[in-house]
Amino acid sequence: MSARSALLGDQAFARSQHAPVIKFTSLCTLLTLAAKEDLEVHQMDIKTAYLHSELKEEIYLQPPAGFSMPKGKVWKLIKSVYGLKQAGRVWYLRIKSEFKKAQWAHEDGTILYAAIYVDNIILVFNSMDALLEAKEALKRLFNMSDLGEVHWVLGLEVIRDRNTHTIVLSQHRYVEEILECAGYSDAHPIATPALANEHMAKVDAPEVDVLTYQSGIGSLMYAMLGMHPDLAYTIGMLS
């Protein structure tokens, strides 16, 4: 069993929290290119990504229960921790800076792309030697897990046939997990995501826990943004 401290963050203020990640459409475009050009697609995971970032601003905090501190003393945060409002932002700036400094420029026709989603890195290369070189460079910077050729990424199953230059993407397992969490594992599948000509009114809705309902809608929206755009209208009505 292991544990780590996380910042409560309820009294913290951050001027900027913007932390871009790759969009589903960009990821699909990249995988389409990889299928067409028969490129290598591998995945790496950065362990405890948010802990790798230095902080520029001064942040002070109370230590967690169980730590004794002299009267009038508090902790000063040196590096980012989970729970900090700007943790995602400072991590994005760190990984962006490292990729800029790496200068993986090749003049021999080597193709290399890196797609980043927080602590997930998808590497797309046309040279196995260049791919291995990039992996070693990343391992020198961060504590990395090499997941090898991509089969699962961001809730997507990646099924590849290199002979036919095709990649099939599926969210079936993600959808099954949503159903299980909602208690609908035994539900029968239907051809459409909603009943035709069904009128929904708030006054007719049953009493539900707001957070549970919002969580369910958010989970369905992730599927909608991925492989299930057919859910868009129904989710809009339920929202």
pLDDT in tens, 84-139: 888 899 999 999 999 888 776 666 778 889 999 999 999 999 988 888 988 999 99
Q: How many CB atoms lie within 10 A of CB 72?
A: 5
- Sorted by where each begins, the domain ranges of the chain are 24-152, 172-238
Q: How many CB atoms lie within 10 A of CB 147?
A: 16
40 in Cβ contact with 129 (< 8 Å): no
112 in Cβ contact with 41 (< 8 Å): no
pLDDT at 39: 94
Q: What is the mean pLDDT of the chain?
A: 86
pTM score: 0.80
Domain covering 24-152 in this structure, CATH number: 3.30.70
Three-class SS of residue 16?
coil
Percentages helix, strand, coil for the chain, rounded to the nearest 5? 35, 20, 40
pLDDT at position 195 over 70: yes
Q: How many CB atoms lie within 10 A of CB 39?
A: 19
174 in Cβ contact with 217 (< 8 Å): no
What is the rounded distance in angstroms from the CA atom of residue 237 to the CA atom of residue 235? Answer: 5
